Amino acid sequence: MKLLESYDNTEIYERPGDIPLYNLLAPPLDRDDYLIKEHVRERAIMQIDIDPSLILDVNKRNRIFREEILKILIAGFPELSDSKIDTISKMIVEEMVGYGRLNPLLEDEGLEEIMVMGANSPVYVYHKKFGACETNVIFNSTSEVENIAEKIARDVQRRIDRSSPIMDARLPDGSRVNITIPPIALDGVSVTIRKFNRDPISIIDLIKYGTISSHLAAFLWICIDGLGFSPNNLIVAGGTASGKTATLNALLVFVPKMERIITIEDTAELYLQHKNKVRLETRPPNIEGRGEVQMDELLKNALRMRPDRIVVGEVRGPEAKTLFTAMNTGHDGSMGTLHANTAHDVLTRLTSPPMDVPDTMIPALDLVIMQQKHFDRSRGIIRRVSEVSELTIGESGGIQENSVFTWNPKTDKIMSTGIPSRTQFKLEGAAKNLGSDFTAELDSRREFLESLIDENVRKFDEIQSRVSEYVGGRIVR
């Protein structure tokens, strides 16, 4: 096997005819050290009289238990080196109040997803650079996996049992978790964790990665702020793990900082720097089947909250019709994501059950940004904005797609198609009202974004501050 990359306690190997192997190295402990660990763990279970379920803050819980375990460890085995004390105490905390074998994977910033498929089967991960990988992490018993699932359910204050065998929730660190158990999970407990990115991908990152061009980013910036007149409504669409939410999140930096934003999500993922924001999240029913709050209910409530901008994390049900009603009645600048592989699929999904958006409402959606995930032999997984389209009413009265930008896989560039654009026509009019020229404004913003790349400005708060300074007093809503 060829070593692809090595970092921290991880080695990733290429395997001919198979996906890479993600090899987690065992802690540098000998047999006696492991015996000490088990001894201290047993004493800690007996001596620490603290109910972990009462400490909802996971970091605080880990810190409290670590302090207690260190007391036992240092008092009983003062001859141990500092590094071994640190390693052993960390392992005991992971086993007692953490997620056991999953903890090292959760700590790896290079991973996007972690997938557990029951006992005696390798845990699989999705690496940001190498894609799907098989790990050497294996749960040895069903009870071990069940204990992890129960700990997660406790941490998110949810229920998971045979009468309620599906759980979808957000971990305290922001990661999304889905758990299924028997009888619906035929091969045992399944745990899927989509990790929260503690350092969110910014629009500058996307330009550097080649996901989007500086020219298209500048165009979308103008679309999102609308030059202060009429912000465009847009949806970012794509397949699973294509990066839809990351791109939507990155584009939110272009929303003027004085606006009031209401976000609505099944599981909160969006990262906002705006001060005047309200984040809403759906809620499943309780044990008695009561208390459920769905997306459509949250969206209808958001319309009563005087929003300047509504952002729906993922449009997939009856809330679509409510969102398009809002778009058609003056709520400009609405944004969201949707699962679809092409712009035509977006149209089909929107106008079919359970969304059922009437054809006459569709043109209120100004732009569909399509994103795709590709595997490149030399670069691994890459994500690209593959197309930007408009959905308009054609001469025959039907809805037609108008491709404004397209990506060429051979050149790896996304370029303007040059086809007359309804969106650009409106923005050109707005620019004239400002005494400006649309093309000059577009070029100026592109150059500005490229200057941020040169200066290595990539953090959300820095970008938003610089964007606000750039726009200055020219855009007043």
pLDDT at 394: 75
Please state, in angstroms and rounded to a whole number, the distance separating the CA atoms of residues 446 and 430.
18
Encoding tokens for residue 283?
């809620």
pTM of the model: 0.84
Question: 3-class DSSP state for residue 206?
Answer: helix
Alpha carbon distance 295, 318 (integer Å): 8
What tokens appear for 205 in the block? 């990152």
Residues 6+ apart with CB under 8 A from 244: 236, 237, 238, 337, 338, 339, 371
329 Cβ contact list (under 8 Å, min separation 6): none
Q: Which helix (H) or strand (E) holds 111?
A: strand 111-117
pLDDT of residue 476: 40
Burial class from Cβ neighbours inside 10 Å (0-12, 13-18, 19+) for residue 73 reads buried
Backbone angles phi, psi at 130, to 5 degrees: -110, 0
Burial environment of residue 248 by CB neighbours within 10 A (0 to 12, 13 to 18, 19 or more): buried
Closest CA to 323 of 296, 349, 343, 346: 296
- With respect to CATH, is domain 203-474 assigned 3.40.50.300? yes
Could you please state the CATH topology (level 3) that the domain comprising 2-194 is classified under: Beta-Lactamase (3.30.450)
| 355-409 per-position pLDDT tens digit | 999 999 999 999 999 999 988 877 878 999 999 999 888 777 788 899 999 999 9
Q: What are phi and psi of 175, to 5 degrees?
A: -70, 150
Spatial distance between the Cα atoms of 248 and 315, rounded to a whole number of angstroms: 13
Q: Look at residue 475 in the predicted model and tell me its pLDDT.
A: 46
**Can you say whether the dihedral through the CA atoms of 203, 114, 18, 11 is positive or negative?**
positive
What's the pLDDT score for residue 55?
83
Q: CA torsion angle for 340, 342, 348, 354 (degrees, to 10)?
A: 10
Q: Quickly tell me which residue has 């200057």 as its tokens.
A: 451
Q: What is the mean pLDDT of each run of 10 residues along the chain (477 residues)?
A: 94 95 91 93 92 81 93 93 92 90 92 95 94 95 93 88 90 90 94 90 97 98 92 96 95 96 93 94 83 95 96 96 94 96 95 95 96 85 95 80 94 94 92 90 96 96 94 56
**Rounded CA separation 252/261 (Å):** 10
User: Which tens digit of pLDDT belongs to each residue from 150-190?
Assistant: 999 988 888 899 888 999 988 888 899 999 999 999 999 99
pLDDT of amino acid 474: 53
The ranges assigned to domains in the chain are: 2-194, 203-474
CA 126 to chain centre: 14
- Whole-angstrom distance, CA of residue 444 vs CA of residue 233: 23
Can you give the length of the chain in residues? Answer: 477
At residue 88, the 3 state secondary structure works out as: helix
Asked if residue 300 lies in contact with residue 318, where contact means CB atoms within 8 angstroms, the answer is no
What confidence score (pLDDT) does residue 377 get? 76
Tokens 């500005």, located at residue: 448
CA distances, 263 to each of 130, 269, 378 (Å): 32, 10, 38
| Residue 65 CB partners (closer than 8 Å, separation 6+) | 44, 48, 50, 52, 93, 96, 97
Alpha-carbon span 344 to 290, nearest angstrom:
38
